[in-house]
C-alpha cells in the first residue's frame, strides 16, 4: 500500500477515534422513546409487532450499526455471491444470525423473569462474549476460515457459493455489536416479556425486532446490482472489522472488571492522545499489513493492531471516566441506601427520586448525560432525596449489596433499566406511567420532577402516610 494511502487511513483513524467519545456522550441508542411499544404490549395490540419491527429498522440507522452495513455485506458477499440466488441466501443467513441472537434474549427473559442487562455484570458471561469477539477477529485476520460441517457444506454448494457459515456467524456477532444502540424499544419489549413469562411471545416479538434490524443488510446484500470484486482492498476491510471486534472485546472486559477503570484518565486530552496512538497503529500496518510473510511483517502488523485497539478502547474508556466523574459529582445521590433514604425523606417530609442504574447500561449512562447533567434538573433536584440503586459489577461483588439490590428491584417491580421512579412527600409512589424508562432530555425530566409535590403540609398528613 502506498505511503500516501497509509497516511490517509491513519488520519481517518485519528478522526474516527477522536469522534467516538463525543458520539457515545451525545446519545446513540436510537429513538428517544419506545415508540409506544410498552402501551401496545400492555393492551395486547397486534400493532406491537409492527412497532417492534420499526424499532429494529431505526436501530439499523444508528451509528453502532449503519456504518457496518456496506462493510459487512462486502465481507460475506463480495467473496462468493456469483448470482442473485447466492446473494439472497448469504444475506438471509446473516439476518437469521441476528434473529437468533435477539430471539435468545426474548426466550431468556421469559424463562428467567428478568430483562437482559444484569447478565452483563457477570464476568463469565462477559468473558464468553469477549472470547467470541476475539475468535471472530482472528478469522478476519486469516487465522482460520469459518466452515460448516462437510455434509451440510456439500448440500449448500449444490445451490452454489460458499461463505454461508461466515454469514451466519457474523450475523450472530452483529446482534451483540448493535446492543449499545438498541435503546428503549428493545428495553420495553424485554421488560414486558420478562413480566409475562411467555416463551413463545418473547421469541416472536424479539424475532420481529431482529428482522427490522436486519432489513437493510438483507436489501443491500441481496439486491445490489453488482457486488464489488474481492481483491487487496478486501484485506483492508477485513482488518478493519477485526480491529473493531477486538476493540469491542476490550470494551466488554473493561466494564466487567471494575479494577481496570482506574487506568483511564479523566483529563480532557486523554482521548486525543489515545486517538493519536490508534492512528500510529494504523500507520504501522493495522489495516494494510499482513500476518503472512516475514517476521518483520508479523511484528509490524501485530504491533499496529495492538496500538489501534488499545487507543480505541482507551479513548472511549477515558471519555466514560470523565462523564462518570462529572455525573457523580453534581448530585448528592445516596447509593444503595434505601432504608436511609426513606428515613431521611420521612423525617424531612421531602419527595424522593429512585434511579435504577448500572454502568453496563448504555441508556443509563446516556440519561446521565442528557438529563441529570442539566443545570435546571440539578437545581430542581435539591428538594428531593436522591437514591441511586446501582447494580454495577463492582457493587454486586458484595453479597449484601447484591441482596439489597434484588430486594429493592422486586419491591418496586423493576425489571429493566433505565428506570427512574418518583415518591411524593407523603410517601406515595407516582403511577407507573410517570416513571422514566427511556432516555429523555433535561426538559422532559424537569417536567416529570415538577409533577411531584414539594414539602407537604400539614405535617400530620405526611406522617399518616409514612
Query: Percent helix, strand, coil in the chain (nearest 5)?
Result: 70, 5, 25
Q: How much is the pLDDT for 465?
A: 46
CATH 3.40.50.1820 for domain 331-465: no
Between these two residues, 66 and 45, which has the higher pLDDT value? 45
Distance (Å, whole) CA 190 – CA 56:
14
Q: What is the mean pLDDT of residues 130-149?
A: 70
- In terms of Cα–Cα distance, which of 83, 360, 72 is closest to 242? 72
- In terms of Cα–Cα distance, which of 165, 262, 213, 170 is closest to 65? 213
DSSP 3-state assignment of 422?
Answer: strand
Q: What is the mean pLDDT of residues 315-326?
A: 75
Q: What is the mean pLDDT of residues 148-168?
A: 54
Render pLDDT for 394-451 as a digit per residue (tens, 0 to 9): 788 788 998 999 899 989 988 777 889 999 998 899 987 788 887 788 898 999 999 8
Rg over alpha carbons for the chain, rounded to the nearest Å, is 24
Domain ranges of the chain: 31-253, 331-465
State the number of CA atoms in the 13 A half-sphere of 88 facing the CB.
5
DSSP track, 359-420: TT-HHHHHHIIIIIT-HHHHHHGGGSEEEEEE--HHHHTSHHHHHHHHHHHHHHT--SSSEE
* pTM attached to this predicted model: 0.62
Q: What average pLDDT does the structure give for the chain?
A: 77
- What residue has cell string 405535617? 459
* 91 pLDDT higher than 50: yes
Take residue 303 and report the three cell numbers written for it: 504491533
Q: How much is the pLDDT for 159?
A: 40
Q: How much is the pLDDT for 29?
A: 45
| Alpha-carbon torsion, ordered 449, 452, 453, 456, to 10 deg | -110
Q: How much is the pLDDT for 141?
A: 81
Q: How much is the pLDDT for 314?
A: 92
Query: By the 8 A CB rule, do 229 and 79 touch?
Result: no
What residues form DSSP beta bridges with 420?
355, 436
Core vs surface per residue 109-135: b (16+ CB within 10 A) or e:
bbeeebbbbbbbbeeeebeebbebbbb
Q: How much is the pLDDT for 362?
A: 66
Render pLDDT for 187-205 as a digit per residue (tens, 0 to 9): 667 766 766 667 888 888 8
Amino acid at each position: 500500500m502506498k505511503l500516501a494511502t497509509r497516511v490517509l487511513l491513519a488520519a481517518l483513524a485519528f478522526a474516527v477515534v477522536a469522534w467516538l467519545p463525543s458520539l457515545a456522550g451525545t446519545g446513540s441508542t436510537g429513538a428517544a422513546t419506545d415508540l409506544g411499544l410498552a402501551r401496545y404490549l400492555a393492551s395486547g395490540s397486534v400493532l406491537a409487532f409492527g412497532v417492534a419491527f420499526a424499532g429494529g429498522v431505526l436501530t439499523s440507522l444508528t451509528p453502532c450499526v449503519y456504518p457496518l452495513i456496506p462493510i459487512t455485506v462486502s465481507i460475506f458477499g463480495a467473496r462468493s455471491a456469483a448470482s442473485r440466488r447466492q446473494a439472497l441466501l448469504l444475506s438471509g443467513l446473516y439476518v437469521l444470525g441476528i434473529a437468533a441472537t435477539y430471539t435468545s434474549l426474548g426466550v431468556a427473559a421469559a424463562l428467567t423473569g428478568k430483562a437482559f442487562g444484569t447478565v452483563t455484570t457477570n464476568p463469565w458471561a462477559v468473558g464468553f462474549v469477549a472470547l467470541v469477539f476475539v475468535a471472530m477477529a482472528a478469522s478476519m485476520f486469516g487465522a482460520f476460515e469459518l466452515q460448516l460441517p462437510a455434509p451440510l457444506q456439500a448440500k449448500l454448494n449444490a445451490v452454489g457459493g460458499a461463505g454461508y457459515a461466515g454469514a451466519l456467524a457474523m450475523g450472530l456477532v452483529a446482534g451483540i455489536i448493535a446492543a449499545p444502540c438498541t435503546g428503549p424499544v428493545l428495553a420495553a419489549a424485554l421488560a414486558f416479556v420478562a413480566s409475562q413469562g411467555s416463551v413463545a411471545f418473547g421469541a416472536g416479538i424479539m424475532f420481529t425486532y431482529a428482522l427490522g434490524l436486519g432489513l437493510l443488510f438483507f436489501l443491500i446484500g441481496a439486491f445490489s446490482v453488482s457486488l464489488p470484486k474481492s481483491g487487496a482492498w478486501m484485506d483492508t476491510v477485513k482488518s478493519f472489522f477485526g480491529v473493531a471486534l477486538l476493540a469491542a472485546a476490550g470494551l466488554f472486559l473493561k466494564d466487567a472488571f471494575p479494577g481496570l477503570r482506574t487506568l483511564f484518565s479523566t483529563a480532557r486530552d486523554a482521548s486525543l492522545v489515545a486517538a493519536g496512538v490508534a492512528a500510529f497503529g494504523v500507520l504501522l500496518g493495522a489495516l494494510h499489513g499482513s500476518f503472512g510473510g516475514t517476521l518483520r511483517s508479523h511484528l509490524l502488523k501485530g504491533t499496529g493492531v495492538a496500538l489501534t485497539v488499545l487507543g480505541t478502547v482507551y479513548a472511549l474508556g477515558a471519555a466514560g471516566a470523565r462523564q462518570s466523574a462529572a455525573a457523580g459529582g453534581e448530585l448528592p445521590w445516596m447509593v444503595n441506601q434505601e432504608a436511609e433514604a426513606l428515613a431521611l425523606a420521612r423525617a424531612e417530609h421531602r419527595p424522593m427520586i429512585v434511579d435504577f442504574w448500572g454502568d453496563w447500561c448504555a441508556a443509563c449512562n446516556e440519561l446521565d448525560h442528557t438529563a441529570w447533567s442539566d443545570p435546571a434538573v440539578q437545581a430542581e433536584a435539591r428538594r428531593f432525596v436522591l437514591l441511586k440503586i446501582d447494580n454495577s459489577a463492582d457493587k454486586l461483588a458484595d453479597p449484601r449489596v447484591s441482596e439489597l439490590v434484588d430486594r429493592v428491584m422486586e419491591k418496586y417491580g423493576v425489571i429493566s433499566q433505565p428506570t427512574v421512579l418518583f415518591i411524593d412527600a407523603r410517601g406515595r409512589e407516582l403511577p407507573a406511567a410517570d416513571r422514566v424508562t427511556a432516555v429523555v432530555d433535561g426538559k422532559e425530566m424537569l417536567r416529570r420532577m415538577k409533577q411531584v409535590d414539594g414539602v407537604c403540609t400539614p405535617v400530620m398528613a405526611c406522617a399518616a402516610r409514612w
